[in-house]
A = this chain, B = another copy of it.
Amino acid sequence: MLTQRTKVRRNPSRGRHDRPTIDAILDEALIAHVAWVHEGRPAVIPTLIARDGDDVLIHGSSASRTIRGLQHGLEACVEVTLVDGLVLARSAFHHSINYRSVVLYGTLRDVPDKERALEIFTEKLIPGRWEHVRWPTPQELKGTAALALRIEEGSAKIRTGPPADDEEDYALDTWAGVVPLTVRPLTPQPDPRLRPDIELPVHVRDLTL
């Protein structure tokens, strides 16, 4: 995992290279930021992510120019970031963010079993969903491309804990600490066209408890 590219140079104490740490961040993140080089210039898009063992999966329309480019062996850099809190220091300079991020490098490859990929994405969005939905038709599978990146070259970076102020600043009158941030699901909004006899199922209710 540790290569010239994945060595954490800035604040190296924040670097992590173990798979359990990397996997936990990938599993919590809904969205990844996939960068590639297009005609010599940088491009990056947000896309839903799901981990499948040693792979990170992304998917999209098989007609998408981006997906087609990435399908044909283009190198990618995949990044996810979870924001955990605002770090309010006594000095402007030491203000920061508590976060957990992962950066992975590699070449995406095509995933032949697209139905299984769609199952993994559906279950990532909301566990227990797959058994309740109408499964993909051959036509839908034809219109879908799924790509995988092996979790091999990459690293995580984590900042946690209180601000780190300069020693002399601890005497100042300024309040310092962390404001934690969390992503919270709110009350589910039924589709306006939902059949009135359909109740909120347990797998959706459980998400918002």
Contact mask A41-60 → B, CB, 8 Å, 1/0? 11111101000000000001
Asked whether B188 lies within 8 Å of A178 as measured between CB atoms, the reply is: yes
User: Are A176 and B194 also in contact (CB < 8 A) when A91-B136, A93-B144, A129-B88 are?
Assistant: yes
Decide if A185 touches B180 in the complex (CB within 8 Å).
yes
Residues of B within 8 Å of A199, CB to CB, are 175
| B190 and A179 contact, CB distance less than 8 A | no
- Cβ of A143 to closest chain B Cβ, rounded Å: 8
A91-B134, A92-B135, A204-B179 given; A77·B42 CB < 8 A: yes
- Indicate if A207 sits at the interface (CB-CB under 8 A): yes
In the assembled complex, A2 has its CB within 8 A of some CB on chain B: no
- Please tell me if A182 contacts chain B, counting CB pairs below 8 Å: yes
Task: Judge whether A191 and B204 touch: CB under 8 Å.
Answer: no
Q: Is the CB of A45 within 8 A of B79?
A: yes
Bound CA–CA A176/B122 (angstroms): 13
| A198 cross-chain contacts in B, Cβ below 8 A | 173-175
- Sort A-B residue pairs by CB-CB distance and give the 10 closest, nearest first: A35-B44, A35-B35, A33-B33, A46-B81, A180-B186, A35-B42, A91-B134, A176-B191, A177-B190, A93-B140
A interface residues, Cβ below 8 angstroms from B: 5, 9-10, 30-31, 33-37, 40-46, 48, 60-61, 64-66, 75-79, 81, 83, 86, 88-93, 95, 97, 99, 101, 103, 105, 118-119, 121-122, 125-126, 129-130, 132-137, 140, 144, 162-163, 169-195, 198-201, 204, 207-208
Q: Show 11 A/B contacts (Cβ-Cβ < 8 Å), sorted by A.
A: A33-B33, A35-B77, A41-B75, A45-B103, A86-B125, A88-B129, A134-B174, A176-B190, A176-B193, A180-B187, A184-B184
